[in-house]
Chains A and B, each alone.
Chain A
Amino acid sequence: MTFPLRLRLLLIQLGVLLAVLATWYAATLPGGINHLLLPAPAPVFKDFGVLLTTGSIWPDLFVTVFEWIVAFAIAAVAGSVIGYLVSLTPYTVEVFDPLFAGLYSIPAILLFPLYLLFFGLGPASKIALGTTIAFFPIVLNTIAGLSCVDRAYITAARSMGANGLQLFWSVMLPAAFPVILTGARLGGVIAFLAILGGETISSLAGLGHRIVSLAENMDTEQMFANILFAVVLAVIINVTVSFAESRGKRWAH
Chain B
Amino acid sequence: MVNSTEVVIRIEGVGQAFGEVGDPRRVVALESTSFEIARGELLCLIGPSGCGKSTLLNIIGGLATPTMGRVTIDGQPVRGPSPQKVAYVFQDNTLFPWRTVVDNVKLGMAFQGVPKAEHDDRAHESLKAVGLSEFAHHYPAQLSGGMRQRAQLARALGLRTEILLMDEPFAALDEQTRLLLGEDLSALLATTAKTIVFVTHSLVEAVFLADRVAVLTARPGKVKKIIDVDEGHPRKSTFMTSPKLSALRNELYELLHDEIRKTITLGEAEAST
> Which residues of B from 74 to 97 have beta carbons under 8 Å from A?
81, 83-84, 86-88, 90, 92-94, 96-97
Which residues of the partner chain A approach B108 to less than 8 Å between Cβ atoms? 160
A251 touches B84 (CB 8 A): no
B67 sits at the interface (CB 8 A):
no
B110 on the A face (CB < 8 A): yes
Does B92 lie within 8 Å of A159, measured CB to CB?
Answer: no
Interface of B is mostly: loop
User: Cβ of A161 and Cβ of B81 under 8 Å apart?
Assistant: yes
Selected from A161, A170, A251, the residue in CB contact (under 8 A) with B83 is A161
Task: Point out which of B81, B87, B90, B98 has the most chain A C-beta atoms below 10 A from its C-beta.
Answer: B98
Q: Once the chains bind, are B159 and A153 in contact (CB under 8 Å)?
A: no
Chain A positions within 8 Å of B81 at CB level: 158-161
Q: Is the CB of B94 within 8 A of A155?
A: yes
Cβ distance A138 to chain B, nearest Cβ, rounded Å: 20
Interface residues in B48-83 by Cβ distance below 8 A to A read: 61, 63, 81, 83
Q: How many residues of B sit at the interface, in one of the four size bands?
A: 20 to 34
B92 A152 Cβ-Cβ under 8 A: yes
Interfacial residues of chain B within 101-141, with CB under 8 A of chain A in the complex = 107-108, 110-113, 139, 141
Contact between A170 and B97 (Cβ–Cβ < 8 Å)? no
Alpha-carbon gap, A97 to B236, bound state (A): 57
Q: Does the CB pair B88–A159 fall under 8 Å?
A: yes
Number of interface residues of A (CB under 8 A): 19
Q: Which residues of A contact B83 (CB under 8 A)?
A: 159-161
Are the C-beta atoms of B90 and A251 separated by less than 8 Å?
no
Smallest CB–CB gap between B114 and chain A, Å?
10
Asked if residues B94 and A161 are in contact (CB atoms below 8 Å), the reply is: no
A162 at the interface (CB under 8 A from B): yes
Q: How far is the CA of A171 from the CA of B97 in the complex (A)?
A: 10
Q: Would you give the shortest CB distance from A161 to chain B, in whole angstroms?
A: 3
Residue A24, interface by CB 8 Å: no
A-B contact pairs, 19 of them (CB 8 A): A153-B96, A156-B88, A159-B63, A159-B87, A160-B81, A160-B83, A160-B108, A160-B112, A160-B155, A161-B83, A161-B84, A161-B112, A161-B113, A166-B110, A170-B107, A170-B110, A170-B111, A175-B96, A251-B97
Q: Known A-B contacts: A153-B94, A161-B112, A251-B141. Give 14 more (CB < 8 A).
A: A153-B96, A155-B90, A159-B81, A160-B112, A160-B155, A160-B159, A161-B113, A170-B111, A174-B98, A174-B99, A175-B98, A252-B97, A252-B98, A253-B141
The 9 closest A-B pairs by CB, nearest first: A161-B83, A156-B94, A162-B111, A160-B111, A174-B98, A159-B88, A161-B112, A152-B92, A152-B94
